[in-house]
Chains A and B, each alone.
Chain A
Amino acid sequence: MKNKLLIALTILMVVLAACTPKEVAKPEEPAVEQPAVEQPVEEVVEKVEEVVEEVVEKVEEVVEEVIEEVEEIVEPASGTITLYTSEPEGKVAEMVADFNKLYPDVTVDVFRSGSGEVIAKIQAEKEAGEIQADLIWFADIDFFDKLADEDLFLVYRPAGSDVVDEMFHYNGDRYQEVRFIFNIIAYNTTLVKTPPTSWKDLLDPQYAGMVGMPSALYSGAAFNHVGTFANMPGFGWEYYEALNDNGVVVERANGGVQAKVASGEFAIVQVVDFMARDVKNEGSPVEHIWPEEGALLIPTPIGILSSTKNPNAAKAFMDYMFTDSAQKLFVKQGYVSVIDGVEPPAGVPDMADFKVLMPDFEYIAANRDLIRSEFERLFGAPVE
């Protein structure tokens, strides 16, 4: 506390000292130009007083800002922050433990659920007054964009994130990509002897009734997938019509798809890449391929909400994401690092060696309702 006061006082004195001569000089100029008779002394004094007041106010503002910034540097982050996420619970817990090695005084409360439920909670809290989370992190960038339109994010560029490609500092540094996930094709090795090699292969009659994929109505990753392929030359909605004709089964979310390809309920699936490696590493008979047309990169942004009560700790958490330690942990957990030159997880080619597709942000933003209704029409119609 004493330190803070000292710093504040020092800054105040410096600033005041720097300002004082200008203040006095400014108001005197007009006073000199005009004859003294027309401009009584009282008025001049009043004006001078006004200007001085204004300047003092401004100085106070500047000082407050400076104090805040200095506090951040001097005081280590502490307190509690709350994270709403749809990331796998175990992986987030590992990450928080690693973060706490760097910032032992910050408690991170994690609320983990599917994207849909997290969004529902955020919307309900928004209506009730204020979102209770400090940070949010899940795979529906379109929802982030909507929140950004209401100016609900803090603009912040995390330390160490400059090396990341500019396109992943989404929406003017409101939210960031911290590691990459891709939609790829996985298959059960006990059921599939000739695996597909491309997204088009899923239409092959030999895989009729054997393919599963997550629902665009529940999964952010699946939504991005449909929104991209529906507008891609050579694919389009006809591709989904054909998938439906080939007996594709729609599962709710990626977790279910992952479990069902492992158990053999699905032979071939569209799934997020790390999930396929996870079940393989656990011992289930699952392999995955990087489709010829490209693996779809699924944005999974994390951002600080502007309503945060503890921006200091939230920023520290964002900074941590780009540390060596965090990026290495991500790789260990099966993710591809967002930073060039970090070794990818075992079994993953270098990003330069496989084709990466980016989501069709424009089409998705303009056709959000259409994508959902078409998907529902094709794969969601109730049966008798």
Chain B
Amino acid sequence: MDVGMKTATSKKQVDRSRLIQSTIFFLGIIIFVLLLALIIFPSWTLIKTSLTANKQFSFQNYGELLSDSSTYLALKNTLFVSSLGSIGATIIGVLVAWLLARTDIPYKRFWQTLLIVPYLIPPFIGAIAWVYLVGPVGYINKLWIAISGTIRPLIKIYSKWGIIFVMAFYSYPIAYMMTLGPLRQMNPSLEEAARISGASIGRTLRDIVIPLMIPSIGGAFLLIFMSMMANFGIPAVIGMPARYYVMTTKIFLTILNYDKANNLALAAGLSMLLVVIATIMMSLQRLLQKGKSFSIISGKSSQPQLVALGKWKPLAVTFLSIMVIGTVIAPLTAIFLTSITRVIGIPLTADNLTLNNYIQVVVGVAKVKRAIRNSLLMAAGSATVIVIISLILSYLLVRVRVKGSQLIETITLLPYAIPGTVVALALILAFLKPLPLIGISIYNTIWIIVIGYITRFLTLGIRSISAAFEQVHVSLEEAARMSGANFITAFKDIVIPLIKTNVFAGWFMAFIPALTELTLSILLFSVGNETLGTVVFGLHQEGKVLMTAALAFMVTLIVLTLNFITNKVTKNQMGF
């Protein structure tokens, strides 16, 4: 009697577990179909539009683009600023990483914390900060004019060199983060041998460290190159006033050029050109990563001997100080000072200070209020949806190991890997017309932005959560199940506690970039559906200098705080 009861219960439990598992499977299929609709359909529409003229299949758009010299100019400009910018960023990043990983430079934690900050500041806000700093009437140029007595500014930020400079300053943390780990794992005996044989530090770097690190450095370079090529905010803030256009800003302006009947088709053609370059870069990076496993780097748990900087130490400290001042302190101070200025055009004296800009920006301007609300809701909503989708997909990818998981991963990576401007245009083209069945167009609503955020940042959630599932070995779950726990109990008591941190991190990894997103939003927003990014950018373009500064400083503080929280909660595993 007793035994019979037990069997019945466990049978019930098995049924329930099966039910749950098939539900997850079923949900997975729904999500997969949804992803196909939200990612593949827009991509297809983009390609189709670029190949359509007068409602027929045609290469006319490409013909028009390729016979226009401004297309080549934009391509050339993109390649020029991206390559020089990534060279600069890679050199700075690797040098910083080597100093922190392999030398006896003091205050490592201090540098580590500060030197990562530029990566957290949204690039367009960084660009605006640099305009305040070295723009035609920026603080540095004003100082120069005051000292030298001329009326011509010292530095011209609105130029290709301005773009390269700002891009390098905001991208070097990528190179730094990507090479720090490999540098730490590098076998120190080689460096030691070189030093003992009398090689200088410079020589050691050039002949030993850099050759060994080529795969990591190359990977970092290509990643930075791709992010610069796809960047919209920096060339928009710094390049557009000087009419220096790169592909992303050219696509943006082409989309806004309503006077041209085939403006969207031309923008689609330009996007395809950009995608081709991005694909080449991605393939190169894949190749590099395959050849990455140099045996010399493979982990040896010996405590690495640190290189003594000796007489170079003051120089190294100066370099790091300049980086911290140049990339963090100076730009943030420029934004802050501008944000507390009462009247522009007159010197910043005590009675020209005010906090009024902050009050005005939050209370006075309706679109800022709307933007704060919209961005918070959209970022939180998209992050939540991303976490739910990621939980289901990661479970299927890692645990069930469903067929075609490679395909699913590639599809979810796509909207993140290709430039945001292209993603936005694909969404516009796909959702301009009313949706079938319900007959409503989501173009000009917040929903097209939400879809943009979800598809673009989904891969961040999946990456974080599938990593967690990988870590929780299935044997833990099985052990629980064998000890009599059913599927739910095992999941609740074993899996959830172990992946909780990653789920949380995954949410923030999607929430933070969505909160300050500009590249997609600037093309998808409409009056009434503004976001923080579009409002900061819009205020800047309208010349509302003081309000721009106040809002930009607030946004920066929020982002840094959120990151600090993520850092604390995940105990430094996630966040920076």
Binding site for B on A (CB under 8 A): 84, 89-90, 93, 110-114, 116-121, 123-125, 128, 188, 190-191, 251-253, 255-260, 262-265, 279, 282-286, 369, 372, 380-384
Contact = CB atoms under 8 A, between A and B. Distances in A.
B70 A120 contact: no
Contacts of B538: 113
Q: Give me the 10 closest cross-chain CB pairs, A-B, nearest first.
A: A259-B543, A256-B543, A255-B542, A283-B343, A284-B345, A255-B543, A262-B345, A111-B527, A265-B136, A263-B137
Interface residues of B, number: 41
Chain B, interface SS category: loop
A383 B526 contact: no
B365 A190 contact: no
Contacts of B160: 384
Nearest to B152: A209
Contact of A369 (B74, B135, B259, B343): B259
A264 B137 contact: yes
Contacts of B73: 382, 384
A46 B254 CA distance: 67
Nearest to A262: B345
B526 A121 contact: yes
B367 A112 contact: yes
Contacts of B137: 260, 263-265
Contact of B527 (A117, A285, A286): A117
Interface string B156-192: 0000100000000000000000000000000000000
Contacts of A128: 434, 441, 443-444
B366 A89 contact: yes
A285 B250 CA distance: 36
* Residue from A84, A255, A286 having most chain B Cβ neighbours under 10 A: A255
A263 B545 contact: yes
A231 to B, nearest CB: 20
Given A124-B526, A265-B137, A384-B77, A114 B443 contact: no
Nearest to A254: B543
Contacts of B441: 128
B370 to A, nearest CB: 10
Contacts of A258: 543
Interface in B337-385: 342-346, 364-367
Contacts of B527: 84, 111-113, 117-118, 121
B258 interface: yes
Nearest to A250: B243
B345 A124 contact: no
Interface in B414-450: 434, 441, 443-444
A259 B259 contact: no
A324 to B, nearest CB: 27
Contacts of B543: 251, 253, 255-260
Interface string B466-493: 0000000000000000000000000000
Contacts of B434: 128
A21 B259 CA distance: 61
A191 B153 CA distance: 13
Contacts of B250: 382
A93 B259 CA distance: 32
A146 B444 CA distance: 22
A123 B345 contact: no
Interface in B245-264: 245, 250, 256, 258-259
Given A112-B366, A121-B444, A282-B343, 19 more contacts: A84-B527, A89-B365, A119-B258, A121-B527, A128-B434, A128-B441, A128-B443, A190-B345, A252-B541, A253-B542, A284-B343, A284-B344, A284-B346, A285-B345, A382-B243, A383-B242, A383-B243, A384-B77, A384-B244
A119 B242 CA distance: 26
A31 to B, nearest CB: 56
Interface of B: 70, 73-74, 76-77, 135-137, 151, 160, 241-245, 250, 256, 258-259, 342-346, 364-367, 434, 441, 443-444, 526-528, 538, 541-545
Contact of A125 (B77, B344, B444): B444
Nearest to B159: A383
Contacts of B345: 188, 190, 262-264, 279, 284-286
Contacts of A113: 367, 527, 538
Contacts of A262: 343-345
Contact of B364 (A90, A110, A119, A285): A90
A80 B544 CA distance: 30
Contacts of A257: 543
Contacts of A369: 259
Given A89-B365, A381-B243, A114 B343 contact: no
A383 B244 contact: yes
18 contacts: A93-B366, A113-B367, A113-B527, A118-B527, A121-B444, A121-B526, A121-B527, A125-B444, A128-B444, A252-B541, A255-B544, A265-B137, A279-B345, A283-B342, A285-B346, A286-B345, A383-B244, A384-B73
Nearest to A256: B543
Nearest to B368: A89
A121 B443 CA distance: 11
Contacts of A117: 527
A269 B370 CA distance: 33
Nearest to B530: A113
Nearest to B243: A383
Contacts of A283: 342-343, 346
Nearest to B443: A124
Nearest to B245: A382
Nearest to B444: A124
Nearest to B364: A90
Residue from the set B137, B241, B344, B345 with the largest chain A CB neighbour count within 10 Å? B345
Contacts of A260: 137, 543
A303 to B, nearest CB: 18
Given A112-B366, A113-B527, A382-B74, A256 B542 contact: yes
A256 B444 contact: no
A111 B244 CA distance: 32
A273 B202 CA distance: 62
Among A112, A251, A252, A265, the most chain B Cβ lie within 10 Å of the Cβ of A265
A188 B441 CA distance: 48
A263 B544 contact: no
A128 B241 CA distance: 34
A197 B544 CA distance: 28
B289 to A, nearest CB: 35
Nearest to B360: A90
Contacts of A279: 345
A218 to B, nearest CB: 9
B528 A111 contact: yes
By CB atoms of chain B within 10 A, which of A89, A112, A258, A279 has the most?
A89
Contacts of A120: 256, 258
Contacts of B542: 114, 253, 255-256, 259
Contacts of A90: 364-365
Contacts of B70: 382
A384 B364 CA distance: 41
A382 B367 CA distance: 32
Identify the interface centre among B344, B364, B441: most chain A CB within 10 Å of its CB.
B344
Nearest to A116: B256
A382 B246 CA distance: 10
A120 B188 CA distance: 61
Contacts of A383: 242-244
A93 to B, nearest CB: 7
A382 B366 contact: no
Nearest to A125: B444
Contacts of B258: 119-120, 123
Candidate in B74, B528, B543 with the most chain A CB atoms within 10 angstroms: B543
Nearest to A210: B151
A128 B440 CA distance: 9
Nearest to B136: A265
